[in-house]
Structure 1
């Protein structure tokens, strides 16, 4: 272990970062994925609570009070919108690690408030704070991972970051099923209390991981940044040619961006054609992934199953558990293929498949939803599984793989704020509107949603830029038309090192040092 004197966290007098690059990468991912685990837990928990009679009775949701149902469920996105508007600048000022710390602390406080809720107002206020905390983490975490992980690990790290949405969902589904047999209000309070465990895990891991090297360079701390690059790429060896090439790329590119007018400002996001394209690409991921139809499955599975012909509460809760486990497997498969076949092909496969399956969910719900045909009802449930599997295969990993890749450092934190604003704003609209749509037009809701999904395919095919196999600085070259460093591409350096071209006294290694 070595002492690392990056920006020190409020609770630590000394950070202890291990020398192992693999261990650091694992800890980075574990710390950041707490965010998606918390969010996935929240979605599945609310899904389960909306099915529980004790929750519905406590908040008087059985009186046909669709507005309260929608508000209790959707209020988390209000906090997310506020975080998207404000927390990007915080992340740039205080650093990526402290931002994750304070987001975790706020989420933990909000979970306590939610667990102790005495009325709708208190419950909604707590959920707004949970939304702020989790979205602040979702803003800082991907930027942190993208900037700190070795580029060979980046897609896996960012993909798993959001794949753990379903780990949280699976845990919540199991917890709400277990507490559903309680007669008291702890049937819904206990699942809420468990939600705070993930924030505690994040706080515990933070002292053992370094700050983003790109943030350190921007703050005028290049020596510390070199140590971080060495720790994450070569077990602390600052003379490794891959470390030197990556470090030079970072130094040169950050130096270029610091000389751009109005660095780290909101205006910079719309100032140039390449910056505008980056924001459009980022926003497209937020909007497309949110209104794909998954919101219905994630938050109103009970209503969806009731419309399909399955009305038993216990059966609905059991389906919720199985669906989360299935979705996790599909998300992990998608994370594997994101780095194998690329971002664009993965997105196109996912969107095309989920569109077909959502049309089929609508058709089968219309045909068998009010019937006693067991085969038809099971077919509807199967289509719901296939739809969620297709969504999980593509959008679950891509949501946090693609945006931080296409955003350059100068706008990455604020751009992730735009992502969270668009994501939470769209989700707020969808989560609040869907219960009314399901109540009034039923199966037609799926048809309308699927028709929208079909429009996403041509946009991804013709507008998205493929980012597979490149460092963040090399992706900048794709969008800007020029690389802002004369360092060789890392793939070239890795191949040359493998072939034995670099030696300790070789001229090329010396060039990289300089």
Structure 2
């Protein structure tokens, strides 16, 4: 790994702190609209980087929905006389569903090391090129093993996309825009899922292999669109500061901030240098994966990991885009795919409502807690309703409840699962914090995706709606964890979060605790930094 350079000592810390304090004050005083006007290009590039996640969102529901797809099931499944239909076994459903997740797990780990060495831009572009090649395998697959290999390889770049989007957004944007653009990654996920749902609904009646090959082929559109755009994207200024390349960091900030920005490039850069210095010298934050599990960073890693994994423990694999569940409770193929499109539309609506009516007024902790508790209640109701499955309307009622669950999920945990890991990690470990958090999500997803087919498949446990009791319980346990361990990060700069964690402030007192990070700068220090 490249050795980080120490900035050339030319400017006394007190002079640096003056500019940094100005930037810190402006962060707190700026409204969302002021931040938008001053950071138009930062918003644009953050949107473009996160657009890579559209492809992972698209693929996430593709295979899961293909299991109920007549032509796909006929090609890759086996005939079940008792059910008079073709089905993939629960084992192959679990294997194929987790193929991309396994690849993404290792892709994310690689991303943490590669970004630390080369930066986010070159790693992102290389991943887009790699994905373009791997897609040939899934498109031309004629058997289950080949399809599985293709999904695993495609997972590698998807792991890069999922961990780069929120990290890049948190590094190029001011505090006022941070929750919106880190959760924009989640919106991209939903856009991908909505596109996939529309494509699947439109092709379900095609009586040939093209009914599932065309959805695979459409994934080539995104690399062709994004590669020429992202070639011109600026590198993260935080990465350049960590490498001691302050002149390059200044140039990057000049491309990201508008002339009308309420704080100068120098002041923004000063706050970055001061925060990096504080972590490097006072908090002694290293940049290895091992550091994530030591000292103060252990707590930050726990919060990032469990808040992201909470998306799965809240019932995501079961209740979100649950076409296979709809099929097993007796809904027709047309009802199943129509409801799937409606569910994705509700997810999109939930995200927009969260941005407009929830995030501006409520803290991250409050939203996460109430969202998790509400989803737990909905899942328990789905389980209770399964007692009356002899009534034809019960299956439809359970399906509608999963749509309500989807709306609540995107109103709360679906957004914050992406935002919180990008906020709670130290700046020198941000990329690796997001990576480990996302990998915790992947591990939890693999476990859930292995269990879910067995819970629902008529050739396995076949418990159908009673599955709601399983995920209702895991959701409730996550709510209890969040009540005691999840802190409030709203309206806190990265330097302030450093101090709150270093002082070991309890999670329930983060919001009201007053901290002045600049009082900790001792006037008798003779450490010097260079910004010019």
- Please indicate the TM-score interval, normalised by the length of the shorter structure: 0.7 to 0.9
Q: Establish whether residue 253 from structure 1 lines up as the match of residue 253 from structure 2.
A: no
1:234–1:487: structure 2 CA closer, same or farther, 3 Å change rule? farther
CA-CA distance at 1:365 after TM superposition: 3.0
Give the structure-1-normalised TM-score: 0.84
Q: Establish whether residue 349 from structure 1 lines up as the match of residue 366 from structure 2.
A: no
1:250–1:91: structure 2 CA closer, same or farther, 3 Å change rule? same
Q: Specify which of 324, 328, 341 is matched with residue 303 of structure 1.
A: 324
Query: Separation in 1 of the partners of 2:65 and 2:434?
Result: 30
1:398–1:72: structure 2 CA closer, same or farther, 3 Å change rule? same
Q: Specify which of 186, 189, 214 is matched with residue 190 of structure 1.
A: 214
Q: Establish whether residue 168 from structure 1 lines up as the match of residue 198 from structure 2.
A: no
CA-CA distance at 1:343 after TM superposition: 0.5
Residue by residue, what CA displacement relative to the aligned partner does 1:63-111 show, whole Å, maximum 9, x if unpaired? 5622112212221111122123332111111101112212222222222
Q: Which runs of 5+ in 2 are unaligned?
A: 1-36, 79-85, 505-514, 521-529
Paired residues of 1:229 and 1:243 also in contact (CA < 8 A) = yes
Q: Which residue of 2 aligns with 1:457?
A: 479
CA-CA distance at 1:114 after TM superposition: 1.0
Paired residues of 2:38 and 2:258 also in contact (CA < 8 A) = yes
Q: Establish whether residue 414 from structure 1 lines up as the match of residue 432 from structure 2.
A: yes
Q: Which residue of 2 aligns with 1:53?
A: 70
Q: Which residue of 2 aligns with 1:503?
A: none
Q: Specify which of 256, 259, 281 is matched with residue 232 of structure 1.
A: 256
CA-CA distance at 1:200 after TM superposition: 2.9
Give the structure-2-normalised TM-score: 0.82
Q: Establish whether residue 86 from structure 1 lines up as the match of residue 110 from structure 2.
A: yes
Q: Specify which of 54, 57, 72 is matched with residue 37 of structure 1.
A: 54
Q: Specify which of 122, 133, 150 is matched with residue 109 of structure 1.
A: 133
CA-CA distance at 1:261 after TM superposition: 5.5
**Mean CA deviation greater in 169-178 or 102-111:** 102-111
Query: Separation in 2 of the partners of 1:36 and 1:487?
Result: 41
CA-CA distance at 1:201 after TM superposition: 2.8
Residue by residue, what CA displacement relative to the aligned partner does 1:439-495 show, whole Å, maximum 9, x if unpaired? 31333221121012112223212211211122222322221239896499xxxxxxx
CA-CA distance at 1:236 after TM superposition: 8.0
Query: Separation in 1 of the partners of 2:190 and 2:384?
Result: 27
CA-CA distance at 1:33 after TM superposition: 2.5
Query: Separation in 1 of the partners of 2:519 and 2:227?
Result: 36
Q: Which residue of 2 aligns with 1:400?
A: 418
Q: Specify which of 29, 33, 44 is matched with residue 27 of structure 1.
A: 44
Q: Report the secondary structure of 1:181's partner residue.
A: coil
1:444–1:381: structure 2 CA closer, same or farther, 3 Å change rule? closer
Q: Which runs of 5+ in 1 are unaligned?
A: 1-19, 489-511
Q: Which residue of 2 aligns with 1:17?
A: none
CA-CA distance at 1:135 after TM superposition: 1.2
Q: CA RMSD in A?
A: 2.5
Paired residues of 2:47 and 2:184 also in contact (CA < 8 A) = no
* Matched pairs, number: 465
Q: Specify which of 285, 293, 315 is matched with residue 293 of structure 1.
A: 315
Superposed, which structure 2 residues align to 1:82-481 within 5 Å?
Answer: 82-235=106-259, 241-259=263-281, 263-272=286-295, 274-298=296-320, 301-310=322-331, 312-336=332-356, 337-368=358-389, 370-372=390-392, 374=393, 376-439=394-457, 440=461, 441-481=463-503
Q: Which residue of 2 aligns with 1:7?
A: none
Query: Separation in 2 of the partners of 1:202 and 1:255?
Result: 35
